[in-house]
Structure 1
Amino acid sequence: MTRTGTITMSMQELDRLKVIEAVAEARLMTWRAAERLGLSRRQVERLVMRYRDEGAAGLVSRRRGTRSNHQLPQTVLDRALGLIHERYADFGPTLACEKLHECHGLVLSKETARHLMMDAGLWVPRKQRPPKVYQPRARRACFGELVQIDGSDHRWFEDRAPACTLLVYVDDATSRLMTLHFTASESTFSYFEATRMYLEHFGKPVALYSDRASVFRGTRAATTGNGVTQFGRAMYELNVDTWCANSSPAKGRVERAHLTLQDRLVKELRLRGISTLAAANAYAPAFMATYNAHFAKPPRSTFDAHRPLRDDEDLDAILTWRVMRKVSRSLTVLNDRVIYLLEDTVANRKLIGRYIDVWEYPDGRIEIRAAGVALRYVPYDKLAEIDQGAVIEHKRLGHALQVAQVLQAQRDNRPISGSPSRTNRGAAVRNPTPRPARRSNAHSPEKTVSVI
């Protein structure tokens, strides 16, 4: 607000005063003043007449100091504030406003409730609150006590090869790189491969700390049936705890390692001309030794928390994808759109209607087990179907698009089925009645690839 003589005017009213003065002194056209003020010409003429009669005071709003037509009665405001003090003192303005309407029939806006609570000292605006202090979490004391794991999808080979994923295992106590594993995408089997390398080299850590990806956190499609993921089930059998971080800063050691690796490792791969996953994985141990010599920290305790693998812990059997499948009346088992035919024996006939285990190994081998005994089977058929609703995680989207481009290129180069050739186009025109389409042959050699 600005004082002009003995009149208090707002900045808007002061700007209007200057424009009206210019019109009254014939220094500005009326229509030009109307455009500048966003008013009609008649309103500008009224303001000029009021200025000539009353001076600057005539341009001050006549409603100043009067009660708003939309203002709530003071009794309603007092009742609302009393109820807030009595029942909703620790509520936010929005929730308190909703409860006043639901429970007491008081209809007021959330901004009105906000101002009431601010004036009463029950609510502090976010801009006026002191900033929160997030202190860094202290490192674990022992080597192998907590290992942070994560995957980084990046163009590790720059333009020399497509983007891929690097799985990184970092020790929380020392920031030491424990395992680097290049893979096409972040999946359960890729984590099985990287974890096996870790276990065979260092032993079993106390716990693995990851994000909330579906590999580690249960979803309906990725669980074993009891809410545990395949990776979580394998780690449980090895007696290794798996925990999920609530946010990226919670596993800051591995997140900061990603930034360093995306700078240094990319350049090292370029200098050595490495552009394949196999060559990168072969170079990874040498890079880790150099990295740890520069950036690793000594632990507070000299105790190594790693435990050796037991003799009865078979990594080949533990690091597998296991699902339960029902045996049909025809002694078949359907898994991943492939039908497996069991031998027609007396023992297998007793399995009809029961659920048995199907194990898939990282190398692609399939093993069907019942009561711990492997059954003999024959792959009978592979079902071909179109999956229009495949669910793909955001971390695997890049790899899925690459596979989709390859498949689309193959389909684009394939001749269209049923198109008339040059020799029979005339016959097709003469006989426009379409023939009934043939049923698709289930034994067609064409393959369908699904990326989920």
Structure 2
Amino acid sequence: MLLTMTDKELHRIRMIEDVIDRRLSGTQAARHLGVTARHVYRLVGCYKSGGVEGLLSERRGKPSNRSYPVELRSQVLAVIREHYHDFGPKLISEKLAHHHEIHLGVETLRRWMIAAGIWVPHSQRKLRIYQPRQRRDCLGELIQIDGSHHDWFEGRSPKCCLLVFIDDATGRLMHLRFSDTESTFDYLAATRRYIELHGRPVAFYSDRHSIFHVSKRDAHTARITQYGRALQELNIELICANSSQAKGRVEQANQTLQDRLIKEMRLEGINTIEEANEWLPCFIADFNDRFAKVPKFPKDLHRPFCGDVSDMDDIFAWHGTRVLSNALTFQYDKVLYLIDPTEENSRLSGETVKVLDYPDGRLAVMYGERILECRIFDKLAKVDQGQIVENKRLGAVLSLAQKKQDELERADLRTRSRRMPKRRAQQRAIGRNPALE
């Protein structure tokens, strides 16, 4: 019995025994126990009549009067096992109140789930072990890619994104490119430059960003992104990592660059993205001389691109499909295009054509391997392209949206479709292309 007592109960027993043995007076014991002398003599009587058990509460071992019924606990645990077996206590509490009209505290649910073995406390969970992975054997076998959003110019220019390409076997920086956002067209432009410099690697290793991976399970949704389609045509494998730790090489490089690259650009007086992109090859060469490793095997697995510039343009364009109407027309970016009604084209009504939207604003329409001549029938004047936001940080996009909204408040302009890629900003920077006008 003494083994189940608390320290407070053991201390009280010793005080009562001292009072009985006349080593303490009732007043002195009351002062030590924080009770009245009358209550001390009451405890002395209970000890003399019932021994040590007489000092224990009669409610010991019995359920509290404020406890929930056993039937409710069984019902709640059955509902959790059936519908919410992988939910946390907080979310379960919300779902029980919303769907089952059962209102319980989060900690009550947590205790019930722990006792039933449904929930494991964080202190008892096994640590997840991330074992280091050996580097690949050859240069160009695996290239890790990632975008790093940061205040790279320390307030001298708006925050932007640095696209990083690093070789897994050697740790070499293969290519760096600053861009306003982390979009599909930015990655396509950076990848094209990479291939022009080094050739085609065996595989790119990325995260599960929507640029690289389609997470929707809808059967009607294409299971490949525009970037994945481009790599597929180049015969380059695209591998998506399940965690940041899996592509730790490029994550560590990002941390190093956020320290060294920022300070180097400050010393060089570089304040804009254009200046930085022009200077980056010098930084890459110096960085690789200092930190690059020697590969296990000296063979370079990069393959040359077998094609001309036009093939490269087609691969790195935005590909879309349209169905021709009976009048040989299709709508793209809220612009109506007319296919030339030649004798050969007259049989194409209802057929699906491929639309190639180039970053510089050009547009090409293809049926199979044949290019179809077309012209614009109806074009909206003074319109701007809606954006597909495919970046991890929305700051730059929201800033641009606010400027556009201010312009629309002053002039009643119509907007274009939101389903098109972000290229109008690049088009304005390059200069208006009069194609198809």
2:299 is the counterpart of 1:298:
no
- Aligned residue number for residue 24 of structure 1: 36
Amino acid at match of 1:325: R
Give the distance between the partners of 2:312 and 2:220, measured in 1 at CA.
18
Aligned to 1:160, the other structure's residue is in SS state coil
- Summarize the Cα distance change of 1:67–1:199 in structure 2 as closer, same or farther, 3 Å threshold: closer
2:162 is the counterpart of 1:166:
yes
The Cα offsets for residues 2-23 of structure 1, whole Å up to 9 and x where unpaired, read as 11264799xxxxxxx9789556
Amino acid at match of 1:318: I
- Aligned residue number for residue 343 of structure 2: 346
2:274 is the counterpart of 1:262:
no
Aligned to 2:251, the other structure's residue is in SS state helix
- Summarize the Cα distance change of 1:366–1:8 in structure 2 as closer, same or farther, 3 Å threshold: farther
Gaps of 5+ in 1: 10-16, 26-48, 78-90, 95-108, 418-443
- Aligned residue number for residue 274 of structure 1: 270
Give the distance between the partners of 2:87 and 2:157, measured in 1 at CA.
55
Moved more, 192-201 or 326-335: 326-335
* Number of aligned positions between the proteins: 362
- Aligned residue number for residue 138 of structure 1: 134
The alignment's C-alpha RMSD in Å is 4.2
The Cα offsets for residues 386-419 of structure 1, whole Å up to 9 and x where unpaired, read as 99x986345151221121122133235x27x7xx
- Aligned residue number for residue 318 of structure 1: 315
The Cα offsets for residues 170-196 of structure 1, whole Å up to 9 and x where unpaired, read as 000111100001112111211111111
- Summarize the Cα distance change of 1:237–1:162 in structure 2 as closer, same or farther, 3 Å threshold: same
Shift of 1:250: 0.6
Shift of 1:270: 1.9
- Aligned residue number for residue 183 of structure 1: 179
Give the distance between the partners of 2:266 and 2:406, measured in 1 at CA.
30
The Cα offsets for residues 279-309 of structure 1, whole Å up to 9 and x where unpaired, read as 1111010010111112111111111111122
Moved more, 324-333 or 284-293: 324-333
Aligned to 1:141, the other structure's residue is in SS state coil
Gaps of 5+ in 2: 1-5, 17-28, 48-53, 75-84, 89-108, 423-437
Amino acid at match of 1:4: H
2:153 is the counterpart of 1:157:
yes
- Summarize the Cα distance change of 1:357–1:390 in structure 2 as closer, same or farther, 3 Å threshold: closer
Give the distance between the partners of 1:359 and 1:448, measured in 2 at CA.
18
Aligned to 1:185, the other structure's residue is in SS state coil
2:339 is the counterpart of 1:332:
no
2:394 is the counterpart of 1:397:
yes
Q: What TM-score, normalized to structure 2?
A: 0.71
Aligned to 2:166, the other structure's residue is in SS state strand
Q: How does 1:437-452 map to 2 (within 5 A)?
A: none
Q: How does 1:346-425 map to 2 (within 5 A)?
A: 346-382=343-379, 392-393=389-390, 395-412=392-409, 414=410
Shift of 1:276: 2.1
Does the 8 A contact of 2:333 with 2:416 survive in 1? no
- Aligned residue number for residue 54 of structure 1: 43
Give the distance between the partners of 1:394 and 1:60, measured in 2 at CA.
66
Q: How does 1:244-259 map to 2 (within 5 A)?
A: 244-259=240-255
- Aligned residue number for residue 224 of structure 2: 228
- Summarize the Cα distance change of 1:53–1:357 in structure 2 as closer, same or farther, 3 Å threshold: same
Identify which of structures 1 and 2 has the higher relative contact order when contacts are C-alpha pairs closer than 8 Å and 6+ apart.
2
Does the 8 A contact of 2:143 with 2:165 survive in 1? yes
Q: What TM-score, normalized to structure 1?
A: 0.68
- Aligned residue number for residue 96 of structure 2: none
Aligned to 2:287, the other structure's residue is in SS state helix
Q: How does 1:183-222 map to 2 (within 5 A)?
A: 183-218=179-214
Q: Which runs of 4+ in 1 moved over 6 A?
A: 17-20, 56-59, 67-73, 91-94
- Summarize the Cα distance change of 1:164–1:130 in structure 2 as closer, same or farther, 3 Å threshold: closer
Give the distance between the partners of 1:307 and 1:350, measured in 2 at CA.
41
Aligned to 2:344, the other structure's residue is in SS state helix
Amino acid at match of 1:363: D
Percent of residue pairs identical: 44
Does the 8 A contact of 1:93 with 1:110 survive in 2? no
Moved more, 403-412 or 125-134: 125-134
Amino acid at match of 1:53: R
- Aligned residue number for residue 438 of structure 1: none
Shift of 1:137: 0.8
- Summarize the Cα distance change of 1:282–1:404 in structure 2 as closer, same or farther, 3 Å threshold: same
Shift of 1:342: 2.0
Give the distance between the partners of 1:408 and 1:93, measured in 2 at CA.
42
Give the distance between the partners of 1:391 and 1:54, measured in 2 at CA.
78
The Cα offsets for residues 48-74 of structure 1, whole Å up to 9 and x where unpaired, read as x6544225978753212457787999x
Give the distance between the partners of 2:336 and 2:240, measured in 1 at CA.
36
Give the distance between the partners of 2:364 and 2:139, measured in 1 at CA.
37
Give the distance between the partners of 2:284 and 2:30, measured in 1 at CA.
73
Q: How does 1:96-107 map to 2 (within 5 A)?
A: none
Aligned to 2:260, the other structure's residue is in SS state helix
Shift of 1:161: 1.2
